[in-house]
Structure 1
Amino acid sequence: MKYIVAFALLCVALVAAKSISTEQSQFRAFQTKYNKQYTNEEFTYRFGVFKNNLKVIRNMNLKSKAQKSTATFDVNAFADLTVDEFKKYYLNSVVAERDMNAPVAADVHVDAMPTNYDWATLGAVTPVKNQGQCGSCWSFSATGNIEGAWFLAGNNLTGLSEQNLVDCDHECMQYLGDHVCDQGCNGGLQPNAYEYILKNGGIDTEESYPYTGVTGTTCNFDASNIGAKISSWTYVSSNETTMASYLYANGPLAIAADALTWQYYSGGVFDFKECGSVLDHGILITGFGVDTTNNEPYWIVKNSWGADWGESGYMRIIRGKGLCGLNTFVTATQI
């Protein structure tokens, strides 16, 4: 009997060793792909975080399948980060919450809405950008909306400078009883960014004021390098049918959403019921469509985490459920 027990324990040990070996191989491949460099001490810690995240990814895929969602999750550049680190580096510390007393744009009536529509395929959206480890998502969301509006006003598509906002925009507003200011890599709000651009007379081009991913101590705005101007901004209805009509008529929409569960998204229509409603990330809705696999209506969202995240820097998220609070803080500018 004791030989049988010993043999069983040996088998368990071999399986465990094989699992560790596989995880180490995955971690080495991850390091190579994303050029991750660690000290010996940090390697041990990051490997532990990575192993835990592999379990998280597996569980999310199982939950997604159980919920009959087409969304998939996989190892990406964030796989060596804890949840707290991901929140700190990539989400907005200034949580958005819509001021329900603020004016909302008039509804747009469209006689025949298409089933699928995406401004990214129609020349109104710049390539996917990367905010890096800087909580500046709000600036990318704001510039994305203005880039689209500027193009639709008859101008050339022009990349606009997020760094201009990160360095120079310290605009504040009384926001739901609080005095809220834009704080570069420490967070901000699209409405504040719009107000800064209105007062500033415009925003510089991305080419003239390139992104560095850190909050500069000096504002280098140059009026001779203005790439776009706006005349006003507004909130847009939280009704998702109305949102689609407004987007179809006026271009991409700058929004905020709860993105904590987006860390490992790799593709499909995101319909993850565990997604919350704390609006901690600014992004851009560029279009909408219907997935033929499950007949799921979705939004097309442009993110600012680089082109190797999600579906080439984009994600599709279920439309019509208010998932992740994406319909509660919708803004747009006018040229």
Structure 2
Amino acid sequence: MFLSRALLSTLAATLIAASSAERYNEIKIRDDAIHNSELKSPLPHSYIELGSLPDSFSWADVDGSSYLTHSLNQHVPQYCGSCWAHGSISSLADRIKIARGAQGDDINLSIQFVLNCGSETAGSCHGGYHTSTYEFIKSTGYIPYDTCQPYIACSKESTDGFCSHVDTTCSAGGTCKTCDTFAGMGGACTEIDYFPNATVAEYGLIDFDEDNIEGTCHKIMAEIFARGPVAATINAEPIVKYAGGVYTETGHPTETNHIVAIVGWGACPKTGKKYWIVRNSWGQYWGEMGYMRLEMGKNLLGIEGEIAWATPGSFTVMNFPCYENGENCVKQQEYLDPSMDIVSMQRRLKAHNDAERKNIRG
């Protein structure tokens, strides 16, 4: 059967569109995912009334200080669909900064570690989920600081850019390592087993009530105000070309394909219309220095439907002092067969024989 050129063109366009939709859906949810840990602390909306919350609040400016960690770009050095990790982990890092009163250097957490070791639980460059990220960190018991494992936008199945040429396996070196000098000068890469890290104490998903969005917004605002930024799903297609201002467009699907962080809210001076302050992970060239404002209370783009939060458990403030090459911070060393070192073995044999001859002569 022969197909017309027009029909072939239509089929090709359909396939390309389907491929693009698959590529850009960065949300993947496991059937057995645990979205709420065992809760030990009361939820903020249970003790903060809606009427007591301010009209505007942002962790970017609390009495002139920012309690937010640095902005991120998930798409360099090549595209990686890891928004789920960026939105959730940056929110956790913000909460650590809040707990420290914004004192000292920022503690930034290793997204690459989660890509290396959390592919079965949290996600990969081809999608994941915010609560699954917190589930992974809590069950693993730690997440290293990002100086252990900087972000390279690769996971084990990635082939974009240089990904097929780098090691992203979950190993000691894939958790924390350092490389001492150039290999041509005798340097080597060494795993670090004693490293600064943070933990997750609790995490959860805020219940969405379609019939009471004001009540849902109350829960979100109370959570942000009391404990810090949250991770949120969003339909990202309509905001690809967002260039500033309060986004108010209706009529777009609320099915989501991307994850961001909400760091606060505000209100328009003239209209009083409230909006969320959203931090994206597309770099500071996008939107309003990497942020956007999105109208509150209408579940626009699905922003209020799947909100995740996590509280830090512990975090390192004084490290175990490792040497520059890390040699004193390795718990165990791989066995090296001494018989393979022929030169050293011959040297030992010569020394042993020389000693025997000396004893005989003596």
Normalised by the length of structure 2, the TM-score is: 0.61
Give me the whole-angstrom Cα distance separating, in 1, the residues matched to 2:258 and 2:30. 8
Aligned partner of 1:230: which letter?
A: V
The total of aligned residue pairs comes to 244
Give me the whole-angstrom Cα distance separating, in 2, the residues matched to 1:311 and 1:191. 27
User: Is structure 2 residue 268 aligned with structure 1 residue 268?
Assistant: no
Aligned residue for 1:240, secondary structure, equals helix
Aligned residue for 1:121, secondary structure, equals coil
Q: Determine the structure 2 residue equivalent to 1:144.
A: 90
Give me the whole-angstrom Cα distance separating, in 2, the residues matched to 1:328 and 1:96. 18
Q: Is contact 2:123–2:129 with CA below 8 Å preserved after alignment? A: no
Aligned partner of 2:239: which letter?
A: W
Aligned residue for 1:276, secondary structure, equals coil
Give me the whole-angstrom Cα distance separating, in 2, the residues matched to 1:311 and 1:263. 13
Q: Is contact 2:148–2:175 with CA below 8 Å preserved after alignment? A: no
Unaligned runs of 5+ in 1: 1-81, 173-181
Query: RMSD over aligned Cα, in angstroms?
Result: 2.7
Give me the whole-angstrom Cα distance separating, in 2, the residues matched to 1:200 and 1:101. 16
Aligned residue for 1:232, secondary structure, equals strand
Change (3 A) 1:86 1:274: farther
Give me the whole-angstrom Cα distance separating, in 2, the residues matched to 1:159 and 1:196. 17
Pairing partner for 1:317 from 289, 294, 306: 294
Q: 4+ residue runs of structure 1 moved beyond 6 angstroms?
A: 82-86
Q: Is contact 2:35–2:204 with CA below 8 Å preserved after alignment? A: no
Aligned partner of 1:125: which letter?
A: L
Q: Is contact 1:161–1:206 with CA below 8 Å preserved after alignment? A: yes
Aligned residue for 2:243, secondary structure, equals strand
Give me the whole-angstrom Cα distance separating, in 2, the residues matched to 1:310 and 1:237. 29
Q: Determine the structure 1 residue equivalent to 2:265.
A: 288
Q: Is contact 1:96–1:256 with CA below 8 Å preserved after alignment? A: no
Pairing partner for 1:326 from 303, 316, 322: 303
Change (3 A) 1:194 1:318: same
Pairing partner for 1:161 from 100, 110, 128: 110
Q: Determine the structure 2 residue equivalent to 1:249.
A: 226
Percent identity between the aligned chains? 26
Give me the whole-angstrom Cα distance separating, in 1, the residues matched to 2:258 and 2:117. 20
Pairing partner for 1:109 from 24, 47, 56: 47
Aligned partner of 2:142: which letter?
A: G
Normalised by the length of structure 1, the TM-score is: 0.66
Unaligned runs of 5+ in 2: 1-15, 157-167, 177-192, 209-215, 313-362
Q: Determine the structure 2 residue equivalent to 1:43.
A: none
Give me the whole-angstrom Cα distance separating, in 1, the residues matched to 2:255 and 2:119. 23
Give me the whole-angstrom Cα distance separating, in 2, the residues matched to 1:202 and 1:218. 17
Deviations 1:52-89 (A, max 9, x none): xxxxxxxxxxxxxxxxxxxxxxxxxxxxxx97676555
Displacement after TM superposition at 1:200 (Å) = 1.8
Give me the whole-angstrom Cα distance separating, in 2, the residues matched to 1:264 and 1:204. 34
Give me the whole-angstrom Cα distance separating, in 1, the residues matched to 2:203 and 2:278. 20
Residues 216-225 or 204-213, more deviating: 216-225
Displacement after TM superposition at 1:225 (Å) = 2.9
Q: How does 1:222-261 map to 2 (within 5 A)?
A: 222=176, 224-238=194-208, 239-261=216-238
User: Is structure 2 residue 37 aligned with structure 1 residue 94?
Assistant: no
Aligned residue for 1:277, secondary structure, equals coil
* Higher share of residues assigned helix: 1
Deviations 1:264-320 (A, max 9, x none): 001111111132111211110000010224332000000000101011100000001
Q: Determine the structure 1 residue equivalent to 2:61.
A: 121
Q: Is contact 1:254–1:284 with CA below 8 Å preserved after alignment? A: yes
Deviations 1:129-178 (A, max 9, x none): 00001110000011122112222333753111111111110244xxxxxx
Aligned residue for 1:196, secondary structure, equals helix
Change (3 A) 1:96 1:305: farther
Aligned partner of 2:155: which letter?
A: T
Q: Is contact 2:125–2:154 with CA below 8 Å preserved after alignment? A: yes
Deviations 1:232-289 (A, max 9, x none): 2111243012211121011001111111111100111111113211121111000001
Q: Determine the structure 1 residue equivalent to 2:154.
A: 214
Q: Determine the structure 1 residue equivalent to 2:277.
A: 300
Aligned residue for 1:267, secondary structure, equals coil
Change (3 A) 1:96 1:316: farther
Q: Is contact 1:92–1:280 with CA below 8 Å preserved after alignment? A: yes
